[in-house]
Amino acid sequence: MKIRYLKFKNWLLTLAATAVGISCTECAVEYGTPEATYHVKGTVSDPDGKPIPGIEVNHYGHPYDTTDPQGAYAFTLKGAFPSLPIDNVTFADIDSTENGSYQDTTVSIPTAGVPLSGGNRHWYEGQGDINYDITLNPKNNDK
């Protein structure tokens, strides 16, 4: 009888833990973890310095922006850990050969040393601006 009681109790505890875990899936950051908002912008160009339009910019597979005719892009990343790089930012040529054919490139955008403003310097560190220009290489030596 005691074993049945313990199994039932463990089942209830597991159910309660699961319910708490599911209800917290939309939490942006863990309590007490510093965070910052970064506004990232820049230009994408070829090795000759010519801007490349139509390049998709995404972070961990979530598209943020596509470069305009001047090769410019911009996105905002909220909830980033201050001073850690923004990993897995991919610049992908998605328009086939309309503007040439370029190799997809994945980079880490550094955030160390970026001045942050407007934060409470406690949990929310504020927001900062990052300018990050990148050069993409052509595929198969196309130009």
Q: Model confidence over 121-130: pLDDT tens digits?
A: 777 889 999 9
**Amino acid at site 43:** T
Q: Model confidence over 56-106: pLDDT tens digits?
A: 999 887 888 899 999 999 999 988 888 889 999 999 988 766 778 899 999
User: Measuring CA to CA, how many Å separate 19 from each of 13, 23, 28, 54?
Assistant: 10, 6, 18, 43
pLDDT category of residue 39 using cuts at 50, 70 and 90: very high
- pLDDT value at residue 94: 85
Show me where the domains of the chain are located: 35-141
Domain 35-141 has CATH 2.60.40.1120: yes
Span 108-119, average pLDDT? 91
User: How many of the other CB atoms lie within 10 Å of CB of 2?
Assistant: 6
Note if the pTM is more than 0.85.
Answer: no
On the question of pLDDT at 17 being above 90, the answer is: no
CA distance 118 to 71: 30
